[in-house]
Amino acid sequence: MLDLSLLTPQQREAVTAPEGPVLITAVPGAGKTLVLTMRTAWLHQQLAITPETILAITFSRKAVGEMSYRLRRIMGPRGAQVNVRTFEGFGYGVISVFHEELGYKRSRLTVLTDAHEISDLISRAAREAGVDAPVDGLALAVNDERSTGRVTNPEVHAVVERYEEILRERSAADFVSMSSLPLKLFREHPEALERYQLAFRAILIDECQDTSARQYELMRLLAARHGNVTAVGDHCQSIVRHVGA
């Protein structure tokens, strides 16, 4: 049985909220992650939502490990069956399954993390698209369009299209791809979206103040069938507004 005795009244209210959309905001040190893990356990124990149909999203591998550890402590072996992922980890899984629909020949992709390599590829894309612009400013504009989906400059859009072609040719993806490609897939292939909507009956998002526009839209689509989303965060702690949070 889930022990709620150590929670404050406000924490208990958040943990035991009925199914549906729940937004939890709190200052640093208020126990947001504790509330998220306890709510995950409560959804399973009290509402009979099976752990494998729960998707918990957080923002770093370290946070994934911490949440997974807490869930195992609270729920026992069943806690290990909760799908705890970063946005990038979730996106990579979607791309791997539907790589052909997204224009990739292989399911195993190389994930580009080196900023210099990505900058070089964007420079190459600009040359091949016939665009002459400073590399630093261009890279920011390219990632802004890819993160938000807003097309504001035709030259930047041309570079974006060529850059993404290069990624497909290399069977590669970067961190922005992990949100933009699943979103593209779900919009163009309703059957793929339905597969994931049926797979997850509850979605929980930690540090929601740092979701990008496309990450937000991705989660909105996933939850459209059941509307069972718990989001935890504090807008005063946002650290990635500069990339579209």
The per-residue pLDDT for 69 is 96
CA 206 vs CA 84, 86, 119, 239: distances in Å: 11, 10, 30, 14
pLDDT in tens, 95-134: 999 999 999 999 999 999 999 999 999 999 999 999 987 7
Separation between Cα atoms, residue 61 and residue 234, nearest integer Å: 20
The per-residue pLDDT for 238 is 61
Do the Cβ atoms of 155 and 133 come closer than 8 Å? yes
Helices 190-199, 177-188: crossing angle, 10 deg rounding: 110
The per-residue pLDDT for 31 is 87
The ranges assigned to domains in the chain are 9-93+181-243, 110-170
Separation between Cα atoms, residue 48 and residue 67, nearest integer Å: 20
Higher pLDDT, 11 or 147: 11
Is the pLDDT confidence value at 135 over 80? Answer: no
Q: What is the pTM of this model?
A: 0.89
CATH of 9-93+181-243, one of 2.40.30.270, 3.40.50.300, 3.40.50.1820, 3.40.50.11540: 3.40.50.300
Is the pLDDT confidence value at 181 over 70? Answer: yes
pLDDT in tens, 207-241: 998 888 889 999 999 999 999 999 998 876 665 55
30 — phi, psi (to 5°)? -85, -5
The per-residue pLDDT for 245 is 63
The per-residue pLDDT for 136 is 72
Structure tokens at 89: 């980890």
231 — phi, psi (to 5°)? -115, 135
Mean pLDDT confidence for 203-208: 94
- Sign of the Cα pseudo-torsion (88, 170, 136, 216, in order): negative
CA 148 vs CA 60, 141, 182: distances in Å: 21, 11, 14
CA 166 vs CA 14, 54, 71, 108, 188: distances in Å: 45, 35, 40, 16, 21
Higher pLDDT, 184 or 235: 184
CB atoms near residue 223 (< 10 Å): 19
Give the whole-number percent of the chain exceeding pLDDT 70.
96
pLDDT in tens, 30-73: 888 899 999 999 999 999 999 999 999 998 999 999 999 999 99
Please, what is the average pLDDT of the chain?
92
Mean pLDDT confidence for 152-166: 95
Give the whole-number percent of the chain exceeding pLDDT 90.
78
